[in-house]
């Protein structure tokens, strides 16, 4: 894929920019045990999606308030679980490349602002723009987060590159009209081994 027309990069957080899979898995396994649902089934679909979306899927009879409470509990399990949260491979190289090239960038995450801030801080990353699930009417796979980030950077979505490690996020990026790059083997317009490879291509 030709990247010469890219004017901004929009990055997912968990699993893309910040290595937090272990913490995410621990939280979902604890939550699943508390609610009597199959944790393996939950983990098969939870990554990259807002907590409420996953909760609603596994607690189909729960009302709106109960879903919100259950989702809040899942996020609360993660707030202080930061011991093994680190930057993903190549994150520093990519951020440095973006700075040298003068390319604006943003983080778009399905986490809430408290969790996103905690994880990014633990990884030593300060994004110029942060869009969380609390900032948009609909989370991924809806395009709202990526559209908001593009608008904040004043770059048309069609000139943005969305970087994701989950199929649900790739769908969100495409729905926004952006080009997409996938890491961790996720199929996208461009698939790279890690952020270091993406940095070299940019």
Residues 6 or more apart whose Cβ sits within 8 Å of residue 66: 59
**How many CA atoms within 13 Å lie on the side-chain side of 194?**
10
- Rounded to an integer, what distance in angstroms lies between the CA atom of residue 148 and that of residue 137? 11
**165 tagged catalytic:** no
Residue 73, token pair as written in the block = 């509990």
In DSSP notation, 112-145 reads -HHHHHHHHHHTT---SEEE-GGGSSS-TTSSHH
**112 tagged catalytic:** no
Q: Which of 12, 112, 144, 165 is catalytic?
A: 12
Q: Which of 2, 14, 84, 189 is catalytic?
A: 14
Q: Which residues are catalytic?
A: 12, 14
């Amino acid at each position: 894929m030709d990247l010469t027309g890219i004017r901004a990069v929009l990055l997912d957080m968990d699993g893309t920019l910040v290595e937090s899979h272990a913490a995410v898995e621990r939280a979902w396994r604890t939550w699943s045990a508390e609610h009597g649902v199959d944790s393996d089934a939950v983990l098969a679909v939870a990554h990259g999606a807002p907590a409420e979306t996953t909760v609603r899927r596994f607690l189909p009879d729960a009302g709106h308030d109960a879903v919100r409470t259950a989702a809040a509990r899942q996020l609360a399990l993660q707030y202080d679980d930061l011991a093994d949260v680190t930057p993903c491979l190549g994150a520093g190289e990519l951020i440095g490349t973006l700075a040298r090239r003068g390319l604006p960038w943003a983080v778009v995450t399905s986490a809430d602002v408290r969790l996103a801030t905690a994880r990014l801080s633990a990884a030593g990353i300060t994004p110029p723009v942060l869009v969380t699930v609390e900032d948009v009417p609909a989370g991924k796979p809806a395009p709202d987060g990526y559209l908001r980030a593009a608008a904040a950077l004043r770059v048309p979505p069609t000139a943005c590159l969305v970087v994701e490690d989950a199929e649900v996020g790739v769908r969100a990026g495409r729905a926004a009209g952006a080009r997409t790059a996938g890491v961790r083997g996720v199929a996208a317009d461009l698939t790279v081994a890690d952020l270091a490879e993406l940095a070299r291509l940019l």
